[in-house]
Amino acid sequence: MTKAALPLALGALLLAGCSDLNVPDLNNPGIDDLQKNPTRVAVIDATQGLFIGARANIAAFNGYVSVMGVLGRESYNFDPGDPRFITELLGGPLDGGSPRFGGNLWNERFANIRNANIVLNALDVLGGLPIGMSDAEKEGVRGVVKTLQALDFLLVIDTRDTLGAPIDLNRDVITGGLAPFVSRNEVFAHISRELDSAVTHLQAAGSGFAFALPPGFTGFTTPTTFIQLNRALQARVEMYRVTLLNCDLPCLGDALSALDASFLSLPADTMLKAAVDPTGTAAMLARGAYYNFGSESGDLANALNDPTGSKQRGHPSLRTQAEEQLPGGPLDQRFLDKVVTIAAGLPRLGHTSDMAFNIYVSTKTPVPIIRNEELLLLRAEYELAFGNQAGAAALINYIRVNSGRLQPRAGLDIAPTDTVINELLRQRVYSLLFEGGHRWIDARRYGRLYPISTWWPGLPNELVTDNVFKVMPIPTDECNARGLGSNCEPLGP
């Protein structure tokens, strides 16, 4: 396969071959050909490659789920070969120069964003070729590529938050310079626009795609159903904007529209009042889109599969904060399903855990991108923010009963707002446990990273020397490329 230089437009010019497109070697043209003389086959292969790029460093032992889990007190990483999973991620300070730790969760996302731009640019060139794609096929590519690109931007801002990020990446960094950093607000607005733009393209894409989607996207393999997935991601984005940016009425309206157009399955009113929904609850809650993995040669394995807890361990607070299903009875069913007790072994730099995760039972187990259980909880967030506390309480209790096998919480419909938020966040901890840093993200966006008076403990620390961090630093390479020092803040203090 022809090698070509690929500027990633993140800071320094990172050179990579066409393997950065994550496309198997099928004698396809290199990046230069894709940009200047693309073919239908090359565009299709590159589009499929973006799905592979989207999962890069998601389920690595030091990837997105693992690092975000440590920062959010979902997990520990007891990797015997590197103490920095404890000393840096828990004790600090976070170091932007360490790509496994503080400087992690950056390059892979921007590589895939840049590759997405290459595909989008190729479509414009392809339109003038004698042998190309139909207009509907090109619109399908645009809609899917922009959705994946928006997801990558969301993962970036989830880690850097108030530090912001660059978004104007479709430029030649040699002639146009480095993309400037913009504020968190602008990044979220960009993500929202990209998702909306993707829907417009998908609506013009006809009845099918010119390319195959991975197994993790089963149920979203047509333009119509992929719009439902796009709208689910938009609902998450808009509720994040409500809580982080005080974007109340405009974002609430967009959140409701997105939820209504998503794949959200709301239980019937009668089920909201029932003890347990008797029909297909588990499948309904699990429905969604997933990053998929494999163990075959050349595929990417899910490295979160760790049944003995050799690296990944559950944070002690998962057990101490779990409720009993009945007084004196078993704990929250989600805890029992997702965590297993193992031998604690010797303390790791003062930290102990006798829990391993039972979520990723093989190296092929997929990792959720978004699923219906989260959408139900996002709908509860919407109802609470809109002023319908009774509706929020009903949905929260539905999740308590049907996912956790807990008793409904009486009086939640008339409780103080902070009480309802705390209950909502606790349900999100166990429903979305070890799936994508949700505990850390949620605590930050609701202002609950740190203790508040006597009614909120903040994210739990096992040792007094542990620290809770609000953001991950900008990588040192990015800072250096801009003439700034380590752990820089390009937008200023």
98-131 pLDDT, tens digit each: 889 999 999 999 999 999 999 999 998 887 776 7
Inter-residue long-range contacts of 386-389, CB under 8 Å, 24+ positions, other chains counted: 386/252, 386/256, 389/413, 389/414, 389/417, 389/420
- Residue from 458, 450, 465, 459 nearest 350 by CA: 465
- Same fold across 1-57+105-263 and 265-293+371-455: yes
Cβ-proximal residues to 263 (8 Å cutoff; 6+ apart), any chain: 219, 220, 225, 228, 229, 232, 287, 288, 372, 375
What is the residue extent of each domain of the chain?
1-57+105-263, 265-293+371-455, 316-357
∠449-453-459 over CA atoms, to 5°? 25
Cα–Cα distance, 360 to 435 (Å, whole number): 10
Determine contact, residues 262/375, Cβ cutoff 8 Å: yes
Cβ-proximal residues to 347 (8 Å cutoff; 6+ apart), any chain: none
What per-residue confidence (pLDDT) applies to 30? 67
Determine the longest span between alpha carbons in the chain, in angstroms: 73
What per-residue confidence (pLDDT) applies to 234? 98
Helices (H), 161-262: 173-176, 184-203, 223-245, 249-261
Amino acid letter, residue 275: A
Cα–Cα distance, 38 to 254 (Å, whole number): 37
| Kind plus residue range of the DSSP H or E element containing 103 | none
Determine contact, residues 104/472, Cβ cutoff 8 Å: yes
162-182 pLDDT, tens digit each: 999 999 999 887 888 899 999
Q: 369 by DSSP, 3-state: which? A: strand
Q: Name the CATH architecture for the domain at 1-57+105-263.
A: Alpha Horseshoe (1.25)
Residue-wise DSSP of 236-271? HHHHHHHHHH---HHHHHHHHHHHHHSS--PPPHHH
Which CATH number is 265-293+371-455 given?
1.25.40
CA dihedral 324, 329, 334, 338 (to 10 degrees): 120
Query: To which residue do tokens 């966040």 refer?
Result: 425
Residue-wise DSSP of 275-325? SS--SSHHHHHH-EEEE----STTS---TT--TT-SSEEE-THHHHTPPBS
- Residue from 168, 145, 169, 166 nearest 157 by CA: 166
Residue-wise DSSP of 26-88? SS---HHHHHHS--HHHHHHHHHHHHHHHTTTTSSTTSHHHHHHHHTTSEEE--TT-THHHII
What per-residue confidence (pLDDT) applies to 411? 97
Class of residue 388 by CB neighbours under 10 A (exposed 0-12, middle 13-18, buried 19+):
middle
| Residues with pLDDT less than 70, the chain | 1-30, 130, 278, 493
Q: 452 by DSSP, 3-state: which? A: strand
Neighbours of 296 (CB within 10 A): 8
Chain centroid to CA 107: how far? Answer: 15
Radius of gyration in angstroms for the set of CA atoms belonging to the chain, rounded to a whole number? 22
What per-residue confidence (pLDDT) applies to 6? 31
What per-residue confidence (pLDDT) applies to 290? 98
